[in-house]
Amino acid sequence: MRSLTLPPLKSLIAFEAAARNLSFTQAAIELNVTQGAVSKQVKLLEEYLGKELLVRTTKKMELSANGYEFYEVVRDSLTALADGTEKIRDLPSGQELTVAATTAMASLWLMPKVSSFRAKNEDIELRIIAADNLNDQAQSDIMLNYFRDPPQGCKASALFEEEIFPVCSPDYLKKYPALISPEGLSDCTWLYLEDMQKDWLGWQDWFDGLGIPAPSPKHRVKINSYSMLMQACLGGQGIALGWSYLVDDMIKSGDLIKPMSQMLKTGSKFWLVESGGYTRNKRSVEVFRNWLIGLLPSLEADRR
């Protein structure tokens, strides 16, 4: 058997982290080393291979064609190595699984369902991180977020498509009966989501997507948290844009209603994204993914 030709392991680990994050800085934080150390290891690897792997400019970093191909090989190899190490060490079955989600998705959609997961998987300890700007996949095993296109270098499973429509409380509709059509929106207060992620749509985007001229609202209230915005909507303070699945439980209970039939389908989706790096929690990730995706058919049936 011929001897194996392998580059230095340190350079592979540094490259995997840099390629997954597309950032030397984030890779350095994750590996607890300096940015210069990561850059040096990647450069050594490129010299060893005689190929450029990461294309660095003043504004961003991208994988070259060779870099993307080699990244997949390194990612899969390190994952296999980590899994094999775990089996040999015979780690205990109990594991902590970190799930990151936007505050809206965590509070309005995920948390009401967590008890059913815990009842079936007592050996997995859930750690849920809720943040409005999820841009660091390295800190979680799974991320639940909205994307037009999921991030590269990660395994992504589509959960549900984006459907957007106005919602208000029943009492608010009684106060403003003209809300049964988009034209009636000019008489009421619009609740705006401020400081939203770049992929989330606002009122103007909603009108543009439907090809309807946007009227001017009588009043505006800007809120920088979608969960708080929904609380204001429930309290009859105005009308807001509702995202399907996130507001379905409130509509089903009658606390919110859809006053008009117009709905925008953008083709974008909410995704379950798994870290592209190696993880000890591979089994727990698979269990959580399969559980969550398994819920979707019944949730879709409830919406009909």
- Supply the pLDDT for residue 89: 61
pLDDT less than 50: residues of the chain: 1, 91, 138
Q: What pLDDT score was predicted for residue 240?
A: 95
Please report the pLDDT score of residue 195 as a whole number: 61
Which residues are CB-neighbours of 228 under 8 A, at least 6 positions away? none
CA pair distance 244, 266, nearest whole angstrom: 12
Phi, psi of 224 (to 5 degrees): -95, 15
Distance of CA 219 to the CA centre of its chain: 32
Residues of the chain by 3-state class (helix, strand, coil), percent to 5: 45, 20, 30
Non-local (6+) Cβ contacts of 146 within 8 A are 102, 105, 162, 197, 199, 200, 268, 269, 270, 271
Asked whether 75 and 20 are in contact (CB, 8 A), the reply is yes
Give the integer Cα–Cα distance in Å for 220 and 238.
Answer: 9
So what's the pLDDT on residue 1? 39
Pairing between β-strand 95-101 and β-strand 142-147 as defined by DSSP bridges: parallel
Give every CB contact of residue 203 below 8 A, 6+ residues apart in sequence: 190, 192, 214, 217, 241
**Residue 118 buriedness (CB in 10 A; 0-12 / 13-18 / 19+):** exposed
The tally of CA atoms less than 13 A away on the side-chain side of residue 8 is 13
Q: Are 103 and 227 in contact (CB under 8 A)?
A: yes
Contact 27, 14 (CB under 8 A): yes
Residue 35 and residue 33: Cα distance in Å, rounded?
7
Q: Is the dihedral of CA 12, 13, 19, 24 positive or negative?
A: negative
CA distance 133 to 151: 14
Q: What is the pLDDT of residue 261?
A: 92
Phi, psi of 158 (to 5 degrees): -70, 135
DSSP notation for 25-65: HHHHHHHTS-HHHHHHHHHHHHHHHTS--EEE-SS-EEE-H
Measure CA 92 to chain center. 29
Collapse the DSSP code of 233 into the 3-class scheme (helix H, G, I; strand E, B; otherwise coil) and give the result.
Answer: helix
User: Domains of the chain (ranges plus CATH)?
Assistant: 9-89 (1.10.10.10), 95-159+268-303 (3.40.190.10), 161-266 (3.40.190.10)
The tokens for 238 are: 């105005």
Summarize pLDDT for 205-218 with one digit per residue, the tens.
999 999 989 888 88
